[in-house]
A and B are shown apart, each in its own frame.
Chain A
């Protein structure tokens, strides 16, 4: 069956390239479109008949040549074929040398680097095999010189001399393979006889037919085995397809090919019998070849029809309004009468064509139901080959602009409407007043520390540790002096009292703290005294 997509491409390409109805030039594009349209519009019987005409035995597909109306200007057309151009090597642009198509290998070093003896072996292997068939046959040591060409007639026949006349090497009779008659005495002494002629075998039946070239079945009926039931894919021993389950992603599975999917679809609908579940490479290529050949045949049939009935008659099929006679003679007569050649008449005919007919002729009418297999395939099969819609590949991607999208998923929770009391409840937030309270508490704690220092300041180092020595004592004294001198107030409590008293008017400590602006109020101002 035909594949649809290349036909579509051709259709589009064809539309644009056809600027004038000098598309009398029978383009292949027409044929592609025609077969698609025919498949829908014409009954299958017509096609079968037409296909049957081209004898099924003739399997030589001719590449449809693009033939010009005037055959003078031909030869400049490209023969486009569906198949990939097979090449095994190409001129690489990067290296500038001939490269193999399938993965390059390191270059083979030249003769200078070959190991010893390789050159002679290579030369011996490259030497051409001798052609030519010899007419003589070997005597296997019995007749030396028997296969030489004799330029002089044997003198032994004319000249008789016992010494030179060697019976064994009689050249005149050397040709005859019958040595026994020449040397009767040898028969007695040489009792070992070598068989020179092979036995003849009798062939009968199939083998005889085969040997004689008579029509015979392909396989010897005696040796023929009955066709067994096709095995499933798992049973087939050559099915080394890897299972999908072991791959951790579906992307790792084997990509289906066009032919594979088509074949599988056809097998599902029953058009084709496969030998297993999945089509093999052989079946795919067979299908592909068959499809190609069918297409070729149909193109050929179309071409022949065009050639047979002429373009006017051919294209009038799609111009219903053209009622005139379109046979070749009529065209010729019209030409003679009016001087309009075939092209002009075609133009006039196409003037009467409707848009619908035009679309049908070009094969782009979407309103006509086509029924190639591609239409019948399941959606997942189609998607395997051609992929889905590029814009909306899956259902999920289709968007309604007015839609309110709910992003919530299964583990999506509702957001809390009142954050503040929620946080307050859980103790994450406190109010400003509480904060200030806490901060205030933190201030009083600082004062307690100073009392502690007083006690430390009044302590005297006894010098318990004798190990330290003079330096440490001096240091210790210095440190003590420093610690003491750190706060004059603390080292001199009488000073503190004397200063603090005049300011303090029999107030309690707390009142005094509250009354003070900051701590510095409690610092004595020495400069005023002195």
Chain B
């Protein structure tokens, strides 16, 4: 998408060069103009602006701040940037260091040193906004702004996250402010001291209303409830006949409804109220105190309404939960949130003065008249508890005071219909005061996991569900005996700690990749060897070691991509898979090829080296060989940083099936894995069996020799050993546990290598045997190892006459013939030729003779 867009963008300098360096023949500029031909718009970008830079993934361009612009000697427009990195760019294993959820719009101030900050100016796409925030602050959602906006809270230096240092913070802020003046963005970012308190108030409520996180819903509405006393009073005054609405609104505010939808409703309502009041705030201010009294009296009237309308929803737990989450949020972000809160409260106090508080006090002191005294004390106890909690968090006295008074009042209001003991109360508050891990997460996680793991029964699952085989109910049994243990270790899938007998190859590959990684260049290596000689295992081991080294910062980090020719349905699918590994995009094969070619041929600013393993290379062969050509062409590009390890079976694959231009690009770095010798096989088996006394030394040697003589396939060797343990186990039943002896191994070998033909012939029916004899006779007669059924049939009839058997009809003979053909004892032509079908033996005549003579 962006690739097309980009092609129509023209970049030119804005204004005259600021200064130039004669020596380097560069000249600096203060801005750049991007002209888009399609829409005829011009985007003007200045130094210090935040920009999007074209990246690996077209849908997710990089975020950066423009630091410098210059034109170098070769007339190339260059730009120096300060990077920001997205969450996706941070390695998976480091993400958990964050310990919080990150929204898609959040970026990190990038302090990783490895990245190239000097980029081509042509890669700049457009300008954006990056807003610095304090750690605890929530992301505001700006709907009025068309431009995409990002938020930065922390910096990332490749190893850990840090809070933004004050000067970077202010620098970013400054950049924003400057930009704000230029582009006339929303006032939300103009420093707050310019604004009137009322406006600020509105802003915070707007923010609270739109806030996505539930936890914060409560605290914000809490604010607004205290503020709404101010707002509502006016509202009630202005809209005198709307009395019924006010108490319900108030009720909602105080209950701090736990459900999200309600919260949103509440937010909207408050927003409405405030919107109305904003205009009227100035004239109303002087008379605020007077109306306060009126308001409280109104409140006093409302309590009877609240309990009755509220019976279903209100419970102690509701409020208690609210307190809990409230304190949670406070704990989460003690320094910022609370400060903001207290600031606002101070503002409130300045505006309303003590009377507002007094109003609350009055209310709380008056409502107890309705309730028994004991309950009031319990409420006070809880409020004291909460106050204690909050004071622990170093809060200002005033805040805790108002908070506790608030909570007590709300609690008392609801306690009217829910009788409760002080004990329960304190208990609940104690429970809820447990640190943040608790309740919210506990409630939410089950639902989430349910949705994520697609059960069989669930009719609808999310689109990108990860498929899963159902869990087994019973745990797999652990190996009980020595033999079982040995069998487990001998399974091919068991990963040994080290790969014996491949140290040299390992070192070679390791050195190759390591040197390329350090140089930051690309390269190819071709690895060949017969199946089962440990090619893939060795390469994987190398990658594992390299990854470990990269994690320990001994090597530059790299990306690892693996494709297997056998696991692709079509050679062109290779592009799709590689692209998906690299960027997570899913596109068609042809588009993927274009994107990859672009990716590897253009200098990317933040690109890591990519190590690509191509297993079963020969299956990527196509008539035009364009897949292979591209694969091996990319590493030769200057900017690709691509290392390819190609694996295949045949040693001379490049010469045999590749065209010259492909083969030459593959280069001459080759390595071939020799089949294992019997000593190596022996070592492999014994290294796997280290510590388990299950095999006789001679038995292992026999297996190794046998396999080495045939193929040198380690898989085969392990399979035979495994089968031997099974045979041993079966025969063991009678006697005490024993080791795998020669006899068992021989049996296993016989089982695996025995030819089935002879026994198949011996177990065939009489006429089938006669038919085979007839074939032999006919072959001998004609001297050709091929005969038609008709000829054989004559011999067959003659043989039957000799044996004194009833001769079969032609149909029966045909049936016999086809049965033997199905077993592939015979090779036959297509059966529509009937009698003239030609037949040939699939095994040597001697074998047939041998098999038939025995009886």
Do chains A and B interact in one complex? no
**Chain B residues with a Cβ under 8 A of chain A:** none
**Chain A residues with a Cβ under 8 A of chain B:** none
